[in-house]
Chain A
Amino acid sequence: EAGVAQSPRYKIIEKRQSVAFWCNPISGHATLYWYQQILGQGPKLLIQFQNNGVVDDSQLPKDRFSAERLKGVDSTLKIQPAKLEDSAVYLCASSLGEGLAYEQYFGPGTRLTVT
C-alpha cells in the first residue's frame, strides 16, 4: 500500500514570496491533516479535512495560509506571503475517518526555509 506522498521535499524562498505544498493521502482515507513542525518541537495541527470539507482550521493563520482539498483526495497548502517564522517542516497525514484520528499516517514532509 502506497503511503502519504508529499512534494516538494525541500523548498527555499525569500520572505514575502509565496509557496505551495502538495499532498496525496493514502487511497481511501477520508480525513487529511496538515501539520507544522518547527525545529525541536512536536507537530502542530494547522487544518483538518473530512473529505473536501474543513473540520478544524482553528490554528491556521488565515491571513497568510490557505488550504484546499478539491474532490476530497489531493490537497494543497499555500503560504502567501511567507515570513521568516514560517520556516518549518510541513507534514501531511491521513486517516480512514475523522473518528480514527488516532490512526494517522504521515508523509515525509516538506522542509521550508524562508530567508
Chain B
Amino acid sequence: GQQLNQSPQSMFIQEGEDVSMNCTSSSIFNTWLWYKQEPGEGPVLLIALYKAGELTSNGRLTAQFGITRKDSFLNISASIPSDVGIYFCAGLYQGAQKLVFGQGTRLTINP
C-alpha cells in the first residue's frame, strides 16, 4: 500500500527554538494533513493543504504542500511546552478516499 516517510522520528529541543519536520512519498498526493496527538488522546487536525505549493499557517504552525505533490513540511516557530506531542502527517493519494498516515515525529521540549 501507499506509505509516507516522516522525519525525523524524534526531536529534542529547547523551549523557544523553531522546529521543522517533513513527510515524503513515492506517490502523488492530492491532500496533505498534519495532526498532533497527545498521550491518551486521538489525533487532532492542525492544518490541511489542498493544492501543490500551498502554504498555510495556524498560529505558530506553518505547513507547505510540496510542488511535486510528493512531500509536505511542517514548521513550528518559537516552541512552547504545550507543543510537546507526536505530529503525524497524513495524505489522500490520487483516486483514494482514505487517509494514509506517517509514522509520526515525537517532539520533546526542554524548558
B92 touches A4 (CB 8 A): no
Whether A107 is near chain B, meaning CB under 8 Å from some CB there, is yes
Whether A64 is near chain B, meaning CB under 8 Å from some CB there, is no
B31 to chain A, nearest CB (A): 5
Given that A4-B42, A41-B104, A109-B42 are known contacts, is A102 also in contact with B92, CB under 8 Å in the complex? yes
Whether B102 is near chain A, meaning CB under 8 Å from some CB there, is yes
Return chain B residues, CB-CB under 8 Å to A59. 1
B99 partner, pick from A4, A40, A55, A102, beta carbons under 8 A: A102
Contact residues of A with B, CB < 8 Å? 4, 9, 33, 40-45, 48, 55-56, 59, 91, 93, 98-99, 101-109, 111
Contact residues of B with A, CB < 8 Å? 1, 4, 6, 31, 33, 40-45, 48, 50, 88, 90, 92, 97-99, 101-104
